[in-house]
Structure 1
Amino acid sequence: MVIMTAQEQERLELQHYMLYDVTMEGELFLSPGGKHAKRVLDMGAGTGTWAIGYAHAYPEAEVIGVDLSPIFPEWIPRNVQFVVDDLEDEWNWTKRFDFIVARFLSPTAFRDLGDDHPSNGSSDCS
């Protein structure tokens, strides 16, 4: 686990910028399933930048961001919820997700992915 200092938060913001704004030319995802998702999981949400950006672009979607560190912003859109949880532990989600996004995570975080992802859902991993 990374200790969440102000410097680490700045690094996460720069990482988001480099991946999405530079490498992906402003796109938040590559999977076509992301455009029609109603329930979205952001695995390893970090500072919440991706989840908030998606929520603004798709206000009809319910977006849930999960991270070990409680560093989420105080103001968030109505369709965003942040949860402090360890993705390597057993998942306790009662509803499935249509779209799951993950960046820079340990492979063990994906262990329970199939249980919470419908067969017609999609994922974007980087």
Structure 2
Amino acid sequence: MLQNTLEITEYLSFFYFIFFSLLFCFFMLFASWFLGGRSLSRYKNTPFESGIVPVGNTYLHFSVKFYLIAMFFVIFDVEALYLYAWSVSIVESGWTGFFEATVFILFLLLSLFYLIRIKALNWISS
């Protein structure tokens, strides 16, 4: 019975936290809308409020290779974070952790060689 009561209080505290967090967010949004300044001017709703008149089309064409390189960077950067966490706890992980990290690094190198082999990192289109 006591365990069941503890679970209910944990759920209630979680729901209280969510409720008051949302209430606080709505309060801040309402307060900024109510207390915030309002100004009307001729150029208020135009882009670039600094006074520069926009000229031409704002559509920019980027090559897919930029996004591809960015995704590769994010993937390898996150894996570098895993290696950093491993290096901090190298004493606790022992030889087992060392061999697991070696397999992990080999997997990274194989995936990098695969990307080079399929020419995913080449900028020149064929």
Give your verdict on TM over 0.5.
Answer: no
> Which structure carries more strand by proportion?
1
TM-score (norm 2): 0.24
Relative contact order higher in (CA < 8 Å, ≥ 6 apart) = 1
TM-score (norm 1): 0.24
Q: Which has more radius of gyration? A: 2
> Which structure carries more helix by proportion?
2
